[in-house]
Amino acid sequence: MKLVVVSAAGLVALLIGMDQVSHAEESQFRDEVAPILQQRCLSCHNDVDHKGDFSLESATVAFREGYIEPGKADSSHLIELMTPVDGKAQMPKNADPLSVAEIAIVRKWIDDGAKWPENFTLTETAVADLNWWSLKPLHRPPLPASWSSRTRSTNGGRPDDSSRQPLRLRTPIDAFILEKLSDKSLTSTSAADRLTLIRRLHFDLIGLPPTPETIDAFLRDDDPQAYERLVDRLLDSNGYGERWARHWLDVVHYADTHGYDKDKLRPNAWPYRDYVIRSLIEDKPYERFVREQIAGDALWPNTEDGITATGFIAAGPWDFIGHAEVPESKIDGKVARNLDRDDIVTSTMNTFCSVTVQCARCHNHKFDPITQEHYYSLQSVFAALDRADQKYDADPHTAYRRTELAERNTELLREKAAIDAEINKRAGSQLAPIDSKLAELQKQKEAAKGARPEFGYHSQISPRQDVEKWVQIDLGEPTVIDSILYVGCHDTFNDIGHGFGFPPRYRIEASDDESFQTDAVVLADHSQADVPNPGTNPQTVKAPGGLKARYVRMTATKLAHRRNDYIFALAEFSILTPDGQNAASDKPVSSPDSIEAPVRWQRKNLVDGYYFGVTASPDIQTQIARLTDERQAVLKHALSDDLKAKMADNETELKATTQAIKSLPAQSMVYSGMVHHGTGNFVGTGASGGIPRTIHILHRGNVQQPRQRVGPGAIPIIASVDWKFQLPESHSESDRRVALANWIVARDNPLTWRSIVNRVWQYHFGRGLVDSPNDFGRMGKLPSHPELLDWLAVEFRDGGQSLKKLHRLIVTSSVYRQSSAHDERNSQTDSENVYLWRMNRRRLTAEEIRDAVLSVSGKMDRTMYGPGFQLFVLEHPQHSPHYEYHKHDPDDPTTHRRSIYRFIARSQPDPFMTTLDCADSSQSVPRRDETVTALQALSLLNNKFMLRMAEHFTERLQNETDDKLNQVERACRLITGRQPTTEQLATLVAYADEFGAPNLCRLLFNLNEFVFVD
């Protein structure tokens, strides 16, 4: 203890402070003083930050500097620091001063002797209180009394047309809504007419306008269940999956590029998008949908959905440079990976549970019961993962077969290892030289196969040509040299071509002196005149007979021209001994400089046996055959018949399984969260067996200040379940994700079920029952209809978890079928329509506008699934892709598919779609903005897509009818669904006569009636 520096008063304080603290004094400190110090001082004055060399974490350190003089508040430096003068106090720094009452509490405590209960340490404040609506257990609330006393209507499901009728109770939803309406003295609005309803349903459920024919059929349909049948038809259509997948992809911030710097492409992201569409169409139970996205690869390993679903984990932005150019050992690499896991954790918990755990990255959550420990425990769940392309088999039979074969293969290899061990025991010493030679020959043979990326050696760049640069091989000992073979580079990367970097003048020498000062024998001298570039043709030089040397050097005396600078590059340098062996193979290479950029450029590529165009010489083949025979002979002699038979069987079967694996159909790929087996800086955890990275609590979120180590867990909101996952010591990384998935879909999880029904409600009505769909915490909004929310959540959870059933329940309610008409009296009480006294009118989303334009223009291609179409021309894809939207041809028919299949560039989004409030894939978008701006007007009037579609719309109309009046009428019906009035028709026809049909079509695309749904 550093008591020497403690003032007398401080020492007394220590003595007094530690002992004899009465119960009252203890509670005074604990309940009144400590909270103030914790909230206002501790964030800087703790044992780690130790700002101003002062900490308040424990009594020992708090009293050490003598800032607190027990019994004497007036002379305590602490009080001086926190007391404001002219409204400004020295402490807390850069914050409002403590209140008068707070200072009084601290003063009184000091005056009373500054009693600090024994072993009491101040800790960062954490919220533990679960008394909050969204954290309360989910129970089915009783239905409103009006529901049981409702009278069965007799008008057979036709919309009520009598206005001012109280809402007809078609579903319990109506009863809940009606109850609130009458509480607030609001009245419901009459039902919308059938034309409004079909247009509303079409956009809401499938995101496309109804055709005039569909509308007519519905208007004529006198089946009392006509509306319900329409709902079913739409929910059963593929369009439903395509429309609602967009909502989900907004929340999980899906895109087809990484974002950040470069914004590189993710060519295999789309299988996840297709997974979402498919799952919605299949109406998968929600808990399955959740579990697949977090741990499908572990729970359903041989299924397409099980793998592609984990695209969820990788859906968000990813810092390519922070991962691919910076290794995990560097601070910047750690930061990038911490932010990466933060994105995954945030996305998971916001999406499925509507809880903002990300607030606890740097400090405990200020409002919700989430500590840093909880937050980092969630990071620990994903700690083994990276984002990368994962292979999978779309066909489950193939997947199963592949697994089976792989398992058998592993078994056979194990068997082979045992056999080899046995062989080694019996004939090891005889086999060793043969095997090493064989391995070398095999390597040479391998090296001869096709173009590989190991280009060779590349010197640093020189501004001048007359600088000498050399490479040198150390053979380890003086070796007899027969000849030298050296080859120029072939750089496929930039298509630089043959002989890249080959010097026009050079010499080759051998010596036993490493520095070539003495005894250098010149083997080749081309230093006096330029030689033509040999391309990649191997060059050979014969050594004088009997030459023996340890070092061989090639010196470029005149460097090769690059652009406006100079280099020396070489693919291969072989030193052949009289028996034809390459003595340089894998020997050390030195040079004054080098651009070490593996795998393409590095010194050791010079002696790797590979160069462009190398082929295995017949000699190698013969040698291999000879050695193989030799080996067989040894084995025959040394091994028992039994072992030989075993070996033969093993070999045959291994060959067969390997062949069988090879002949399986090619695998697909999805960009997903996975254990990554990488190279270079981006290695992932694959090489170390997929063991999760160790996760520590990071003080202030700083990777350089790791504190306590944490294991996998969630947050403490389910009373019956420990938030720490109880997993066996030997658990695998995916066990953690399975545990989290199970935690999320636990029946007792109070958030999950409320979260999803609220999202669905919001997409139908434009506003959630909770108006902060990603945040059900204390900073979020309160539910407008808590009972209805809980009723829906329980109904959904216990009723098969069918989203389609939930949609049906909602859209068949009378609340949903209301008109969107304004009512002045209701509006005065509830101008934002929180209580749903009418339906909300809404503007179409960017995708709906684009799809509707394509649809009415007759250009829509309804092909489903597959890689996204691109509304840009891609330039410079190798380095930093440029997404040139202005160069795209709007007539390209491959881009006339539904907008859900659009390739989404994250950092460089489509300006047209962005102007129309398309989701920003850099962040979770739980609800679209709905702005009305002059730029939108300009886009819809002048964007080349709109202009061209107006012409296609014209062609469609002209193909359908020759009569101009009919054309205009038809155009109006396609755009608005309704018949134009006589006057409107006359005006539009006159306008079309004067300015042409394309102008008419352009005008119609800009109507309010087109872009709004009542």
Considering only residues 788 to 847 of the shown chain, the ones binding another protein according to CB under 8 A are: 820-824, 827, 841, 843
- Identified binder of another protein from the candidate list 513, 722, 929, 963, rule CB under 8 A: 929
Q: Which stretch binds another protein (CB under 8 A): 26-34, 165-173, 317-325, 435-443?
A: 317-325
Q: Which stretch binds another protein (CB under 8 A): 127-135, 408-416, 638-646, 994-1002?
A: 994-1002
Nearest to 867 by CA among 665, 671, 666, 674: 671
Report the nearest approach of another protein to the CB of residue 337 (Å). Answer: 12
Name residue 823's amino acid. Answer: D
**Mapped to the 3 state alphabet, what secondary structure does 115-153 carry?**
CCCCCCECCCCCCCCCCCHHHCCCCCCCCCHHHHCCCCC
Q: Does the protein bind another protein through residue 779 (CB under 8 A)? A: yes
- Identified binder of another protein from the candidate list 679, 931, 958, 966, rule CB under 8 A: 931
CA distance 806 to 801: 8
Report the nearest approach of another protein to the CB of residue 597 (Å). Answer: 11
Question: What SS3 state is found at 965?
Answer: helix
DSSP state of 794: H
CA distance 33 to 41: 11
Q: Which stretch binds another protein (CB under 8 A): 79-87, 174-182, 297-305, 931-939?
A: 931-939
CA distance 739 to 380: 12
CA distance 979 to 1001: 16
**Residue 263 vs 847, nearer CB to another protein:** 263
H or E element, residue 179: helix 172-183
Q: Does the protein bind another protein through residue 74 (CB under 8 A)? A: no
**Rounded (5°) CA angle 611-617-618:** 165
Residue 996: exposed, middle, or buried by beta-carbon count in 10 A (0-12, 13-18, 19+)? middle
Q: Does the protein bind another protein through residue 326 (CB under 8 A)? A: yes
Residues 392-411 contacting another protein, CB under 8 A: none
Torsional sign, CA 744, 747, 749, 753: positive
- Identified binder of another protein from the candidate list 120, 516, 865, 991, rule CB under 8 A: 991
SS3 percent helix, strand, coil of the chain, rounded to 5, is: 45, 10, 45
Report the nearest approach of another protein to the CB of residue 361 (Å). Answer: 11
Cα torsion through 830, 833, 834, 836, rounded to 10: 120
Report the nearest approach of another protein to the CB of residue 719 (Å). Answer: 23
Residues 92-111 contacting another protein, CB under 8 A: 94
- Residues contacting 252, CB < 8 A, separation 6+: 312, 315, 316, 347, 351, 924
- Identified binder of another protein from the candidate list 359, 554, 756, 971, rule CB under 8 A: 359
CA distance 602 to 571: 10
CA distance 664 to 657: 11
Report the nearest approach of another protein to the CB of residue 126 (Å). Answer: 16
Q: Does the protein bind another protein through residue 88 (CB under 8 A)? A: no
The gap from C-alpha 662 to its chain's centroid, in whole angstroms, comes to 31
Q: Which stretch binds another protein (CB under 8 A): 117-125, 353-361, 597-605, 857-865?
A: 353-361
- Identified binder of another protein from the candidate list 322, 456, 673, 768, rule CB under 8 A: 322
**Residue 324 vs 624, nearer CB to another protein:** 324
Residues 864-923 contacting another protein, CB under 8 A: 876, 879-880, 882, 886, 906-909, 911-912, 914-915, 917, 920, 922-923
- Identified binder of another protein from the candidate list 168, 672, 1002, 1013, rule CB under 8 A: 1002
- Identified binder of another protein from the candidate list 146, 398, 650, 999, rule CB under 8 A: 999
- Identified binder of another protein from the candidate list 401, 944, 964, 970, rule CB under 8 A: 944
The gap from C-alpha 1009 to its chain's centroid, in whole angstroms, comes to 38
Q: Does the protein bind another protein through residue 986 (CB under 8 A)? A: no
CA distance 491 to 498: 7
Q: Does the protein bind another protein through residue 996 (CB under 8 A)? A: yes
Report the nearest approach of another protein to the CB of residue 104 (Å). Answer: 25
Report the nearest approach of another protein to the CB of residue 794 (Å). Answer: 25
The count of chain residues that interact with another protein, using the rule CB under 8 A, is 96
Question: What SS3 state is found at 275?
Answer: helix
Q: Does the protein bind another protein through residue 118 (CB under 8 A)? A: no
Residues 696-735 contacting another protein, CB under 8 A: none
Residues 616-635 contacting another protein, CB under 8 A: none
**Residue 268 vs 350, nearer CB to another protein:** 350
In the chain, DSSP finds a helix count (H) and a strand count (E) of: 34, 22
The 249-288 contact track toward another protein, x by CB under 8 A, reads ----------xxxxx-------------------------
Q: Give the CA radius of gyration of the chain.
A: 38
- Identified binder of another protein from the candidate list 16, 321, 467, 746, rule CB under 8 A: 321
Q: Does the protein bind another protein through residue 57 (CB under 8 A)? A: no
- The distance in angstroms from the start CA to the end CA of the chain is 76
CA distance 171 to 608: 76
CA distance 99 to 388: 53
Report the nearest approach of another protein to the CB of residue 773 (Å). Answer: 10
